[in-house]
Amino acid sequence: MSGYVHPVDVAVVGATGLVGRMMLRVLEERPFPVRRLLAFASERSGGTELTFQGKKLQVRTLTEAALAGCGAAVALFSAGASVSRTFAPVAARAGITVIDNSSAFRMDPDVPLVVPEVNPDEAFRSNGIIANPNCSTIQMVVALKRLHDRYRIRRIVVATYQSVTGAGARGLRQLEDEVSGKTVSGGKFPHPIAYNCLPQVDDFMEDGFTREEHKMMDETKKIFGDDAIRVNATCVRVPVRGGHSEAVTVEFEEAFDEQEARRLLKNTPGVVVVDEPKERRYPMAIDAEGRDEVFVGRIRRDPTVGSGLSLWIVSDNLRKGAATNAVQIAELLLKSPSKAQKMVHEGTRSATKEIL
């Protein structure tokens, strides 16, 4: 990437998890201007060796003192909501800009919830913490952004087909063990996932929806800045290694032109349209895995309402649904000279004398 002020120190909290490791990979691939990479994890994972830019990197045990004094300009968090609630404010007070992948701050009115292709300006009203949305929400709002701008969406009905990597390493291990015939011990899911579909992602709430479904319903409104949108979500875990798929039907406030809708989708940043059903070409999780784009296909008018459109949306949940989106937010900030200079100044001011 070009246009940065200069390289910065970056901390990754939760560096040994699936998303944390993907954050390291994405930082390398884009490439992000990392001057020094500091990896943090729990005491159990402290001392683990990772590789970054061809060099060995030792993981540090996460403590308040170690994080506050690390000197990073930006910290990418992916260690769970409880860790974020404890340590993200510590980092922010030390002058480190936090981009948090957990659910801890997403619906906090004082914390921006950002998808760079959708609401980039929100990143610049941060008081030190920026929230990364839920993986399923991210890919949906990227695909719907320009359609919403043009026609105003009044209602969304979405059913997700979410891969096991969305449940972390334990979820992936359970699928692999079940497929290979191994005895499953300490599985992530309440039922077998191999050759099965589980209509439950996260815990159930009093209204019968799961927490994952509420994330999609609530976060979509916040990202679009429109509380009038009605969202109904059903989230399902499927025996797919990586890549979330979604069947989405939207109802617009006004009549729409189907061909214009297709053009809008094709011209939406971050979206790749794959829609040749007669040739059996449509987005699939197996093709999206390892990619940063959001793939859209099966585009067709909904005949049951006057202004409805149905879509099939697929994206890699570890990349665009988590790590890539977080890195893109950091890129946004570093492309702004005034913001970047402030980040670098604050991070340097908090640094200790210890240098890796």
Residue where the block lists tokens 């950091």: 330
Tens-digit pLDDT profile for residues 320-335: 999 999 999 999 999 8
| The pLDDT of residue 339 is above 70 | no
Would you say residue 3 lies in a domain?
no
The amino acid sitting at 217 is M
- CA gap 319, 291 in Å, rounded: 7
| The pLDDT of residue 188 is above 80 | yes
What number of other Cβ atoms are within 10 A of residue 52's Cβ?
Answer: 17
Would you say residue 267 lies in a domain?
yes
Would you say residue 1 lies in a domain?
no
At 6, the pLDDT band (50, 70, 90 cuts) reads confident
Would you say residue 30 lies in a domain?
yes
Tens-digit pLDDT profile for residues 218-263: 999 999 999 999 999 999 999 999 999 999 999 999 999 999 999 9
- Do 225 and 209 lie in one domain? The reply is yes
At 338, the pLDDT band (50, 70, 90 cuts) reads low
- Do 181 and 266 lie in one domain? The reply is yes
Residue 46 pLDDT: 86
- Do 342 and 305 lie in one domain? The reply is no
Which active-site residues does the annotation give? 135, 244
Helix (H, G, I), strand (E, B) or coil at 324: helix
- Do 30 and 148 lie in one domain? The reply is no
| The pLDDT of residue 347 is above 80 | no
Residue 307 pLDDT: 97
Would you say residue 118 lies in a domain?
yes
What number is the average pLDDT over the span 84-94?
98
- Do 222 and 90 lie in one domain? The reply is no
Pairing of strands 55-58, 49-52: antiparallel
CATH number of the domain encompassing residue 15: 3.40.50.720
Would you say residue 205 lies in a domain?
yes
pTM of the full structure: 0.93
- Do 200 and 72 lie in one domain? The reply is no
Residue 355 pLDDT: 34
Would you say residue 32 lies in a domain?
yes
- Do 233 and 345 lie in one domain? The reply is no
- Do 120 and 179 lie in one domain? The reply is no
Please report, for residues 46, 47, 61, 84, 93, the alpha-carbon distance to residue 66 in angstroms, rounded to integers and kept in the order given. 12, 14, 8, 15, 13
Q: What is the largest CA-CA distance in the chain?
A: 66
- Do 18 and 166 lie in one domain? The reply is no
Domain of residue 126 covers 8-133+320-350
- What is the Cβ-side half-sphere exposure of residue 78, based on CA atoms within 13 angstroms? 30
CATH number of the domain encompassing residue 184: 3.30.360.10
Those residues with Cβ within 8 angstroms of residue 12's Cβ, 6 or more apart along the chain or in another chain: 20, 23, 24, 27, 37, 38, 39, 40, 75, 76, 78
- Do 268 and 305 lie in one domain? The reply is yes
What number is the average pLDDT over the span 45-57?
93
Residue 186 pLDDT: 87
**CB burial of residue 330 (10 Å; 0-12, 13-18, 19+):** buried
- Do 104 and 201 lie in one domain? The reply is no
- Do 87 and 152 lie in one domain? The reply is no
- Count of domains for the chain: 2
Residue 345 pLDDT: 54
Show the tokens assigned to 63. Answer: 């403590």
Would you say residue 356 lies in a domain?
no
